[in-house]
Amino acid sequence: MAISMRRTSTGSSWSDLTLVVGGLAVASAIELAILRTFTRTAIHIPALNALQEPYEVLSKGGRYAYFVAVALMLPAMAMLALQFGRRGFAALFGVLLFAAVAAGAAAGVGGRLILDWATLTAIVVLAGGLAIQSPRRAAALPLASFGLAFAMSGAYSAAPDFAEAGANVEFPGWLLDGAEISGLAFALTAPLIASGRGDRAARWTGLAIGGMALLVFLGNGSTSRFLLLWNVGLSGILPGFLYAAAAGTLSYTVVALARSGRGLEAAGLGLLITGGIGLHSTYQSGLVVAGLAALWAGTLAAAQAGEGAEARAETPDAEPQQSPASFAATS
Amino acid sequence: MLHRLSNHRRAVIGLVAALAVGGLLQFTNTNPAVSQAQYINAYEVSEDPGLDPAADVWSKIGSVSIPLTAQAGQYIGGGSVTAIKAQAVHHEGRLYVRVSWDDPTMDDATTRAEDFADAVAIEFPANGQTAVPSICMGQADAAVNIWHWRADSNAGLKDPLEVYTSALVDGYPYTESLFYTAREAGNPFANPENGAVQSLYSRAFGELTALNVQDVEGLGTHTDQGWAVVFTRDFLSENPGHASFAPSTSVDMAFAVWDGKEDERNGKKAVSQLVTMNIGAAGAFEEDGSMVGTMAIAAALLLGVAGLGVGLAVYGYREKGR
């Protein structure tokens, strides 16, 4: 695939960031396709025993993609954290809060109460802050919807954590319905993030993926819903065509962002898809945190690029701005 | 392409390093990620809960609501029950799991061919498994042990005349099992005295089979709120194919529910994803009872941290306006 670059003198740091975050998105997408999807549905393959060897090779490949994604997560988060200035203190706060509790949990420090609720706080702060900061008002809708869906689903499943403090807490079941609706709202309104920049390739990709998803839902609705629940945290209680449309709009948005020079945001959105909604593991939560931080960094860069252009327009004799916003590496 | 990548030497080196580190992590099986999946705490209790779903102990411990999704299989439908509540305790080396769900109708008779019974099942990895099995009846290298409770077995055999009121039987002189073929063949649904729960084993679709040793007990009761069913079994079971439990360990489990009123049976049901059961070594109840102080501190901390984050977001938004 082609790489198109808008270069400035300090552009390489953004491009490096896009490559690393993009690498994380690709590794997690491979892991999602093989480890979380193929190996869970392979039992449908007739005579799987005869195909045991290729199955195991593929399964190990998926597991390798998982470990590569885990290895990439730390440098990606560190690089993202370094991008945030005063406007991104909340993003920095969210990334550091999650990194601290996830590292603590890996080391066996802190219980689920701290881990789960700090994760939810970090993600709500990142999604909410991003929605507030977004230069395009309409883009706030999908971003806020994602944060709301994650918060409702996560809070519901994290309620038993309060048993660590000796309390029996149970949240109402409508939180799950709310998470389902908000999660779908995020996906269906995701094109607002790309703000109508999609070209023909994006539209065809969206139609193809959405069409394929519709066929899968019509052909084997139960397995599709299983995968929805296991992979992205949605239980599939709404009509299948809505989920198919959501798959189409999400893939349209990723391609539209990538092809309009917003590779970092495309990778960020991809990470939200592979991370899913709700609490599954610190790996998947980390994908979501990295995805939101990437979207935030992309938004900040775009805003700085816009301000730089405005400044140059106002002072035509001035030296060219040393804008860092040259992140536009798309692949 | 390569020329362009050479402009990003640091990123390329980082990506190559990640590929190497990923291989190392896989080779050493070092997984730094921690599960945040839904879980159930099975605490030790001092009183024996028994098989009664209304026993006091269940009202003293919290329940976990677990969402279900539809499995339709070859039939249209399934998934009419959208969530179950699960609780678990252990007492003197015996595990007790209570499952309850909303179901206004009690479908506990399968006398007619068109009737189907309400049912619930719990799936565990069979003992000796190193991999997490596929939730769909296990997989070749990771079998599952399924505890299956059915309302018709729970209710016992019913007289066909209850549903076929116009039927007339002239007489059937034989009382020996030999002349009741299903009973003689060991069909568990013709032998309800063996219990309402079957312990099953599977490694794939179509391989579901009853285990030789049936050591799981269960009892269900139906109220206006729906069904509540208690399953129980000793922790230790040396029999092949049975699930294993021990204090201070965790085990994966999944749930399935059938609503007979909706003609749900076999693969037409509602299923959960895998959740984790933590079998606690500690008791369920605090000595001093109230934890209001701890909860208040936790809530204040949470609100404080969230408030800090929101404040930073607002600060950033104002910075944008300058």
Q: Is the pLDDT of residue A64 over 60?
A: yes
Most confident range (mean pLDDT) of A303-307, B45-49, B188-192 is: B45-49
Interacting residues of B222 by C-beta distance below 8 A, sequence separation 6+: B103, B106, B108, B151
Q: Is the pLDDT of residue A34 over 80?
A: yes
Q: Is the pLDDT of residue A331 over 80?
A: no
Within 31-50 of B, beta carbons closer than 8 Å to A belong to 31-41
Lowest-confidence range among A18-32, A133-147, A297-311?
A297-311
What mean pLDDT, rounded, does chain A reach? 82
**pLDDT of B288:** 45
Sort out which chain B residues have CB atoms less than 8 A from A70's CB and list them.
Answer: 22, 25, 31-33
Q: Which two structure tokens, joined as six digits, stand for A237?
A: 């209680």
Report percent pLDDT > 70 for chain A.
Answer: 82
More confident residue, A75 or B287: A75
Q: Is the pLDDT of residue B266 over 70?
A: yes
Task: Say if the Cβ atoms of B83 and A176 lie within 8 Å.
Answer: yes
Q: Is the pLDDT of residue A239 over 50?
A: yes
Most confident range (mean pLDDT) of A3-12, A37-46, A294-303 is: A294-303
Q: Is the CB of residue B157 less than 8 Å away from at least one CB of chain A?
A: no
Task: Say if the Cβ atoms of A3 and B1 lie within 8 Å.
Answer: yes
**Mean pLDDT value of segment A18-27:** 94
**pLDDT of B104:** 94
Q: Is the pLDDT of residue A276 over 60?
A: yes
What mean pLDDT, rounded, does chain B reach? 84
Task: Say if the Cβ atoms of B18 and A71 lie within 8 Å.
Answer: yes
**Mean pLDDT value of segment A309-326:** 48
Q: Is the CB of residue A16 less than 8 Å away from at least one CB of chain B?
A: yes
pLDDT tens for B84-111 read 999 999 999 999 999 999 999 999 988 8
Q: Are strands B217-223 and B209-210 parallel, antiparallel or unpaired?
A: unpaired
**pLDDT of A7:** 36
Q: Is the pLDDT of residue A45 over 70?
A: no
pLDDT tens for B184-202 read 888 888 888 888 999 999 9
pLDDT tens for A153-185 read 998 888 878 777 767 777 777 888 899 999 999
Helices (H), chain A: 12-31, 39-41, 52-81, 89-106, 112-133, 140-158, 174-189, 191-194, 200-219, 221-227, 240-259, 263-275, 282-314
Q: Are strands B83-91 and B39-44 parallel, antiparallel or unpaired?
A: parallel
**pLDDT of A112:** 86
**Mean pLDDT value of segment B235-260:** 90
Task: Say if the Cβ atoms of B313 and A125 lie within 8 Å.
Answer: yes
Q: Is the pLDDT of residue A44 over 70?
A: no
pLDDT category at B320 given cuts 50, 70, 90 is low
Q: Is the CB of residue B61 less than 8 Å away from at least one CB of chain A?
A: yes
Task: Say if the Cβ atoms of B317 and A132 lie within 8 Å.
Answer: yes
- A71, A167, A229: residue with CB nearest B273: A229
pLDDT tens for A213-238 read 998 888 766 677 777 877 788 877 78
pLDDT category at A48 given cuts 50, 70, 90 is low
Hey, where are the domains in chain A?
A: 12-310
Q: Is the pLDDT of residue B56 over 70?
A: yes
CA distances from B166 to A286, B161, B221 (A): 66, 8, 30
Q: Which two structure tokens, joined as six digits, stand for B60?
A: 């003293």
pLDDT category at A8 given cuts 50, 70, 90 is very low
What does the alpha-carbon distance between residue A81 and residue A267 come to, in Å, rounded to a whole number? 16
**Mean pLDDT value of segment B65-75:** 69
Residue type, B40: I
**ipTM at complex level:** 0.77
More confident residue, A144 or B294: A144
Sort out which chain A residues have CB atoms less than 8 A from B305's CB and list them.
Answer: 97, 118, 121
- A12, A90, A283: residue with CB nearest B309: A90
Within 64-93 of B, beta carbons closer than 8 Å to A belong to 64-65, 67-73, 78-79, 82-83
- A44, A70, A75: residue with CB nearest B33: A70
pLDDT category at B1 given cuts 50, 70, 90 is low
- A3, A68, A121: residue with CB nearest B309: A121
pTM: 0.78
Sort out which chain B residues have CB atoms less than 8 A from A48's CB and list them.
Answer: 140, 204
| Closest chain B residue by Cα to residue A232 | B273
3 state SS for chain B: CHHHHHCCHHHHHHHHHHHHHHHHHHHCCCCCCCECCCEEEEEECCCCCCCCCCCHHHHHCCCEEEECEEECCCCCCCCCCCEEEEEEEEECCEEEEEEEEECCCCCCCCCCCCCCCCEEEEEEECCCCCCCCCCCCCECCECEEEEEEEHHHHHCCCCHHHCCCCCCCCCCCCCCHHHCHHHHHCCHHHCHHHCCEEEEEECCCCCCEECCCCCCEEEEEEECCEEEEEEEEECCCCCCCCCCCCCCEEEEEEEEEECHHHCCCCCCEEECCCEEEEEEEEECCCCCCCCHHHHHHHHHHHHHHHHHHHHHHHHHHHHHHC
Lowest-confidence range among A246-255, A257-266, A295-304, B4-13?
B4-13
pLDDT tens for B298-307 read 677 777 877 8
**Mean pLDDT value of segment A14-34:** 90
Chain A closest-CA separation from residue B296 CA (Å): 10
Q: Is the pLDDT of residue A324 over 50?
A: no
**Mean pLDDT value of segment B233-252:** 88
Q: Is the CB of residue B62 less than 8 Å away from at least one CB of chain A?
A: yes
